[in-house]
Chain A
Amino acid sequence: MIRVDRLSRAWGGFSLKDVSLEVNGSEYFVILGPCGSGKTLLLETIAGLYAVKRGRISIRERDVTQLPPERRRVGLVYQQYALFPHLSVRTNIGFGLRYTKLAKAEREQRIDEMIALFGIEDLAGRRTPSSLSGGEAQKVALARALAIRPEVLLLDEPLSSLDQRAREKVIAVLPRITEELGVPVIHVTHHYSEATALADRVGVMREGRLEQVGSVGEVFRHPANAFVADFLGVSNVKQATVAGDQVTLAEGVVLAAANPQGLGGPVAFCVRPDDILLTRSTEDAPNTLTGRLAGLRDLGFNTLLDVDTAAGRFEVNLPESVVAGLRLTLGETVRLSLPADRLHLMALDKDPSA
């Protein structure tokens, strides 16, 4: 278990502000954030590479805030693998074992164990890591970090420089292995698809602050604010006014929406593009909007439709086959149906820059 308590630290022009998080057991925790939001600095601070004055970091009830990295028992893996280019693949994996109490024979056994765990037997004989492909190198880096049985595994965009195939392979083995070894993982990335594929829980970070922490479903369905919604691909974010369960998007445009938080007054309103249904019916039904089809964007298996309504532009994501069946033409009038339970209301973002 790792726990970060109200951690704050400033670098030249950047700071971490009051970051708290807790990862238990062999939980897989993904921190999402745009570039420059401080994800890497947070990981490196947890690893002990920067001194901390405010806040507390503890691993398995052990306060490590003031310990140097070599005594924290954390595994750190970078986007660019950071394999030692002057050492063989085996020596890379066994690098940290020299500093453990293991005897020589046990170390060799541990290396073999890691190699078997990641299924990289064919790479073990390589004299230098320079000939490894991205996916192979990242597996070796993961094996090296896990060989010392760290108490937490810190992954800094571990999949970002891999091609799609290699990424899928790593995604297929990684959670199984950390589960098996019982290591909690903190994985930072800016691809929300990695979070949906890997995470038990996610956190969204902006400018050194954790904006929201929760389970995948919670965060993706009910983003805490417009920034989180936008970053997670919930593209239809609008300003609205709410009274009870009646949301006024624009003059005369009123929808019914679930309002479990009991918000009132000006709010932000969002709906995922794939939660909106599209019909041709001209009949006025509750929770529908009429609009003009302004654009069709081909996404391969899906099509993204831009629809201009009285409440602004909405994006609608439909399967390509559905769109082909409807034979839509640009400029025609369509009707959008927004199910009340899929509409999400958020308190207005305090940050004016968003």
Chain B
Amino acid sequence: MAEQRLLNRGNLVSGGVLLAHVAAILLGLLDLGTGAVLACTDSFAVWQAFRIREEFGQRRQNLYLTGFFVIFLLFVPVARSPLLFATFGMLYAAMFRTPLLLGYLLILVVSIVFVTPYWIQTTLLACLLFTIIAPIWPQRTKRFHLFCLGFGFLLIFAIMLPLLYLCFQVTPQTLLNSMGDSAFRGALRTSLLSATISTVVVLVFGVPLAYAVVRLDFKGKGFIESLIDLPIVIPQSVAGIAIMVLLGPKTPVGAWLDQRLGIEVSGSMLGIVLCQVFVSSPFLIRSAANAFRDMGPALENVSRTLGAGPLSTFFRVSLPLASGGIFTGCILCWARAISEVGSLMVIAYHPFTVSVYTYDMFVQYGLQEARPAAVLLVIVCLWGFLLLRWLQTATLGPIFGERRIGR
């Protein structure tokens, strides 16, 4: 085999390039350090060029050499940094035969050159997109779908760029400091507790409601369904004001609750839970309703004829089969409750939830102080969300992967 011989053309030519550089150093055209590095880079690049021609042919080699020349132009005459050229030239030559790595490298170079202040975030997101696209790209029939993905990814870009940028603005030290702050920890506890209580409340009432709406046909069903979705379209502040108008300390109902039962709605845990239930209920109910609808009535019908009453059928058949969808609903509901802020600021500014606390920090001390709290909130939400997702696939995944049964 040609490439196994020590004295093949590739080795000879790259040796020649090496010798030419050494000669240039000896003649004083290049200083010793730079010269040595460039000599290695160039001879390695040339040696790679020969291997690429053997493997993929002339056209690929031309492409490779053009790319190398562009890098040279970019870093030596323009940026005047032979060392950067050596680094990227070497990486380019080494990675050319592995398209995935080469893609990452190109993204990195482009990011550094064109969007300097945000290059880390841009690189991360672009690499994520590239990782998805690269293996599917050779399938020609999927090109249009990939185009849709790339186009739609701009949206994910718009969402993730500020979040990522925010996360890179704080040091672990400031995070730890904020974490140790008792006010923050209190707020975090309030948030987690209230969101969990809200989710349980919505679960207990929402699941039967969803089941009834799906299984019953009645006049005005569409109207009831829109009532369920109403909190999604109502601005949060309006939700807060509405609850306040009904149950605030100066209203008859609120005063009665306060004086007779000693229950305060505004500025209490109860108020927080009320707000969170208000804004987060549609997510769970919708999700549960979809799960019941997907299941279809056939399984329940069979269960009934086998002797199970409606209650037994619900707990033995419907509920276990819808549990995947209901669990997803719980996650969404919980996440929505954690992130609620608008109505809470109207009804229960204190005790702080994390979301209100972060806003409060911003209003009182400015951007600088609010940043660590905001980052912590992102981390907590993300962890909670991922943990629950994982729990869902770990416990329910295998059985409920395909839920469409029946007619």
Interface residues of A (CB under 8 A from B): 44, 47-49, 68-70, 72, 74-80, 82-86, 95-96, 98-100, 128, 130, 141, 144-145, 148, 150, 154
Instruction: Tell me, in angstroms, the Cα distance from A85 to B312 when the chains sit together.
Output: 17
Tell me if B305 and A86 are in contact (CB < 8 A).
no
Please tell me if the beta carbons of A145 and B399 are within 8 angstroms of each other in the complex.
no
Q: How far is the CB of B295 from chain A (nearest CB, A)?
A: 10
Contacts of B302 in A (CB 8 A): 76-78, 82, 141, 144-145
B406 an interface residue at 8 Å Cβ cutoff?
Answer: yes
What residue of chain B has the Cβ atom nearest to residue A150's Cβ? B305
In the complex the two chains form, is A49's CB within 8 Å of B299's CB? Answer: no
* Contact assessment for A85 and B306 in the assembled complex, using a CB-CB cutoff below 8 Å: no
Does B230 touch A at the CB level, under 8 Å? no
Q: Judging by beta carbons under 8 Å apart, are B305 and A72 in contact?
A: yes
Query: A61 CB to closest chain B CB, in angstroms?
Result: 20
Shortest 5 CB-CB distances between A and B: which pairs? A96-B306, A99-B307, A69-B304, A76-B305, A82-B298
**A135, B270: Cα distance in complex, Å:** 56
CA distance A63 to B23 in the complex (A): 110
Q: Which of B301, B309, B405 has a CB less than 8 Å from the CB of A76? A: B301
Residue of A nearest to B301 (CB): A49
Contact of B303 with A by CB under 8 A: yes
Per-residue CB contact flags for chain B residues 308-328 toward chain A (1 = under 8 Å, else 0) read 111010000100110000000
B181 contacts chain A at the CB level, 8 A cutoff: no
Total A-B residue pairs with C-beta atoms closer than 8 Å? 83
B407 at the A interface (CB under 8 A): yes
Do B306 and A145 have beta carbons less than 8 Å apart? Answer: yes
* Contact A70/B308 with A49-B301, A80-B407 known, Cβ cut-off 8 Å: yes
Given contacts A76-B301, A78-B298, A82-B298, 19 further A-B contacts (CB under 8 A): A48-B304, A68-B304, A68-B309, A68-B310, A69-B305, A70-B305, A75-B306, A76-B302, A78-B301, A78-B302, A78-B406, A80-B406, A82-B405, A82-B406, A86-B320, A95-B308, A96-B306, A128-B399, A145-B306
Q: B317, A84: Cβ atoms under 8 Å?
A: yes
A96-B307 contact given A78-B298, A82-B302, CB 8 Å threshold = yes
Complex Cα gap A48–B302 (Å) = 11
Interface hits, B374-407 → A, CB 8 Å: 399-400, 402-403, 405-407
A99 touches B308 (CB 8 A): yes
Query: How many angstroms from the CA of A96 to the CA of B302 in the assembled complex?
Result: 10
Pair B298/A80 contact, Cβ less than 8 Å:
yes
Q: Name A70's contact: one of B309, B321, B399, B407 (CB within 8 Å).
A: B309
Q: Which residues of A contact B301 (CB under 8 A)?
A: 44, 47, 49, 69, 76, 78, 82
For B400, what are the chain A residues with a Cβ–Cβ distance below 8 Å? Answer: 86
Given contacts A47-B301, A80-B406, contact A85 B307 (CB under 8 A): no
- State the Cβ distance, A60 to closest chain B Cβ, in Å: 16
The complex places the Cα of A141 from the Cα of B406 at a distance, in Å, of 12
Q: Tell me if B299 and A84 are in contact (CB < 8 A).
A: yes
Please state if B321 and A95 are interface contacts (CB–CB under 8 Å). Answer: no
Alpha-carbon distance A48/B306, docked complex (angstroms)? 12
Contacts of A80 in B (CB 8 A): 298, 405-407
Q: Do the beta carbons of A100 and B307 come within 8 Å of each other? A: yes
Instruction: Write the nearest CB–CB distance from A219 to chain B, whole angstroms.
Output: 28
Knowing A44-B301, A78-B407, A80-B406 are in contact, say whether A86-B399 is a contact too (CB < 8 A). yes
- Report whether B307 and A148 are in contact in the complex, using a CB–CB cutoff of 8 Å: yes
Whole-angstrom distance between the alpha carbons of A75 and B301 in the complex? 10
Query: How distant is A70 from chain B, measured CB to nearest CB, in Å?
Result: 5
Task: Report the bound CA distance from A79 to B302 in whole Å.
Answer: 12
Instruction: Decide if A70 touches B406 in the complex (CB within 8 Å).
Output: no
Known: A80-B405, A85-B399, A85-B405. A96 touches B308 (CB 8 A): yes
The answer to whether B306 touches A95 (Cβ under 8 A) is yes
| Cα of A80 to Cα of B304 in the assembled complex, Å | 17
The distance in angstroms between the C-alpha atoms of A99 and B309, with both chains bound, is: 9
In the assembled complex, the Cα of A78 lies from the Cα of B400 at a distance in Å of: 21
Q: How far is the CB of A119 from chain B (nearest CB, A)?
A: 22
30 A/B residue pairs, CB under 8 Å, sorted by A: A44-B301, A47-B301, A47-B305, A48-B305, A49-B301, A49-B304, A68-B310, A70-B306, A72-B305, A75-B306, A76-B302, A78-B406, A80-B298, A80-B405, A80-B407, A82-B302, A83-B405, A84-B299, A84-B321, A85-B403, A86-B400, A96-B306, A96-B308, A99-B308, A99-B312, A128-B399, A144-B302, A144-B306, A148-B307, A150-B305
Q: How far is the CB of A345 from chain B (nearest CB, A)?
A: 41
Highest count of chain A CB atoms <10 Å: which of B304, B306, B312: B306
